[in-house]
Chains A and B, each alone.
Chain A
Amino acid sequence: MNQFINKNLYGDYGDKEQAGGAEGSNHNAAAEWPLWEVFIRSKAGLDHKHVGSLHAADAEMAIENARDVYTRRLEGISIWVVESKYIHASDPATADSMYEPANDKVYRHPTFYNLPDELTHM
């Protein structure tokens, strides 16, 4: 039964023969380009902010893909890309022990000082 089900993937429609037969049906994730995280600086002086991710074969292509996918509407003037596998994240399961303890430590906020009125950016 399985052989009658032909999964259509993005880009397959009408291009199959030219693109080298029914390769779409034995699509496998291992052959896919690696994932990259994209950071964009919207204007000089601001930080690079995470905007999303994309697939690319290498860093050069990742920057170009980021330019085409994420800066089409003048969103940025500088791009950083990092291969997603190099980003290490904290474990959501340990959130209780990691972040909860800070909850009742109000004295860690510098709100007990009397500040002079002239000081505006605190």
Chain B
Amino acid sequence: MNESTSQLIYTLQLADNALILGHRISEWCGHGPVLEQDIALTNTALDHLGQARSFYQHAAEQFNLMPVEVKKQQFVSPALQQKIDKGESLDEDDLAYLRDGWDFRNVLLVEQPNKDWAYTVVRSFFADVFNFYFYKELQKSKDAALAAIAEKSLKEVTYHLRWSSEWMIRLGDGTEESHERMQTALNERWAYSGELFEMSAADKAMAEAGIGVDVATIKPLWDAHVDGILQEATLEKPANKWMQSGGKDGRHSEHLGYILAELQFMQRAYPNMEW
């Protein structure tokens, strides 16, 4: 894998994480427990979507600069292959709507279903703590576009983190029932937290090149932050060490297929439709 391929995959990892988490959160729209939180979550979903767009635009630029032979090796999705064979350039929409599941590089955590409020909060909390420290580091990227996206996103993520941390504490240290539900969600989601710190080939190459972030340096920060909030929330950190993985290599849980079916249907059924 050469450097431009690594950089494309790296950018797509970031884009896919943002898109899929944003989509999952957007599923709460119209279903929030109270009007105010419904709007809060929808705002957050749009933040993630905005980040995803920036990353996809950047990924498309990188892709379009590649030689044709290299382009052909990037994606397995037939719909994208057809475009590439015709010599068309790709844009953010193509990357979001025409790639199949195995071309998606998001971590398994973000595609997990909303279930109830506790599961949703825990998923966001893991991701928000990670993103907070991650974007801080990514601001130093040698890729000016990534650094700029990181700087803009960090402000949004700081608020996301405030929101999810508060719900962790509020419900963890709430009633007996809310505590129990939070602990259950925490225990079940825990196995998806490890993949955030797994280094894919693209991660390693980009960290070495000074473009990406060495996530190993973020792990202790993430642990300390999570420990602090869990303590305040009177929640117990799960003891299990075994972690799920595969998302970064395109091996996903069955949930991603359903997400993409809903997300991509319109563009697949009515190509290039606008509204």
Binding site for B on A (CB under 8 A): 10-11, 13-15, 18-19, 33, 54-57, 60-61, 64-65, 67-69, 72
Q: Could you count the A-B residue pairs with CB atoms below 8 Å apart for me: how many are there? A: 46
For residue B38, which residue of chain A has the nearest CB? Answer: A11
Q: Do residues B43 and A11 form an inter-chain contact, with CB atoms below 8 A? A: no
Q: CB < 8 Å: which of B30, B31, B36 contacts A56?
A: B36
**Measured between alpha carbons, how far is A19 from B32 in the docked complex, in Å?**
11
Using known A-B contacts A19-B116, A64-B162, A64-B163, determine if residue A55 contacts B34 with beta carbons closer than 8 Å: yes
- In the complex, whether B209 has a CB less than 8 A from a CB of chain A is no
Q: Do residues B36 and A18 form an inter-chain contact, with CB atoms below 8 A? A: no
Q: Do residues A55 and B36 form an inter-chain contact, with CB atoms below 8 A? A: yes
Cβ contacts under 8 Å, B163 to chain A: 64
- In the complex, whether B166 has a CB less than 8 A from a CB of chain A is yes
- In the complex, whether B115 has a CB less than 8 A from a CB of chain A is yes
Q: Do residues B166 and A61 form an inter-chain contact, with CB atoms below 8 A? A: yes
Using known A-B contacts A18-B116, A19-B116, A57-B170, determine if residue A68 contacts B43 with beta carbons closer than 8 Å: yes
Q: Do residues A19 and B33 form an inter-chain contact, with CB atoms below 8 A? A: yes
Q: CB < 8 Å: which of A14, A19, A65 contacts B36?
A: A65
**Measured between alpha carbons, how far is A19 from B34 in the docked complex, in Å?**
13
- In the complex, whether B269 has a CB less than 8 A from a CB of chain A is no
**Measured between alpha carbons, how far is A67 from B159 in the docked complex, in Å?**
10
Q: Could you tell me which residues of chain B, from 17 to 49, have a CB within 8 Å of some CB in chain A? A: 30-40, 43
Q: CB < 8 Å: which of B30, B31, B36 contacts A68?
A: B36
Using known A-B contacts A18-B116, A60-B166, determine if residue A65 contacts B33 with beta carbons closer than 8 Å: no
**Measured between alpha carbons, how far is A55 from B36 in the docked complex, in Å?**
7
Q: CB < 8 Å: which of B31, B162, B170 contacts A11?
A: B31
Cβ contacts under 8 Å, B38 to chain A: 11
Q: Could you tell me which residues of chain B, from 27 to 74, have a CB within 8 Å of some CB in chain A? A: 30-40, 43
For residue A33, which residue of chain B has the nearest CB? Answer: B34
Q: Smallest CB–CB gap between B128 and chain A, Å? A: 14
Using known A-B contacts A11-B33, A11-B38, determine if residue A72 contacts B170 with beta carbons closer than 8 Å: no
Q: Smallest CB–CB gap between B2 and chain A, Å? A: 43
**Measured between alpha carbons, how far is A13 from B32 in the docked complex, in Å?**
10
Q: Do residues A65 and B37 form an inter-chain contact, with CB atoms below 8 A? A: yes
Cβ contacts under 8 Å, B39 to chain A: 68-69, 72
Cβ contacts under 8 Å, A13 to chain B: 30-31
Cβ contacts under 8 Å, B35 to chain A: 10, 54-55, 69
For residue B40, which residue of chain A has the nearest CB? Answer: A68
The proximity string for B residues 76-114 relative to A, scoring 1 for CB distances below 8 Å and 0 otherwise, is 000000000000000000000000000000000000000
Which 6 residue pairs across A and B have the least CB separation, nearest first? A65-B36, A68-B40, A18-B116, A68-B39, A54-B36, A68-B43
Cβ contacts under 8 Å, A64 to chain B: 40, 162-163, 166
**Measured between alpha carbons, how far is A54 from B32 in the docked complex, in Å?**
15
Cβ contacts under 8 Å, A65 to chain B: 36-37, 40
Q: Smallest CB–CB gap between B176 and chain A, Å? A: 13
Cβ contacts under 8 Å, A56 to chain B: 36
Cβ contacts under 8 Å, A19 to chain B: 33, 116-117
Cβ contacts under 8 Å, A60 to chain B: 166
For residue A62, which residue of chain B has the nearest CB? Answer: B36
Cβ contacts under 8 Å, B116 to chain A: 15, 18-19
**Measured between alpha carbons, how far is A69 from B33 in the docked complex, in Å?**
15
Q: Do residues B34 and A11 form an inter-chain contact, with CB atoms below 8 A? A: yes
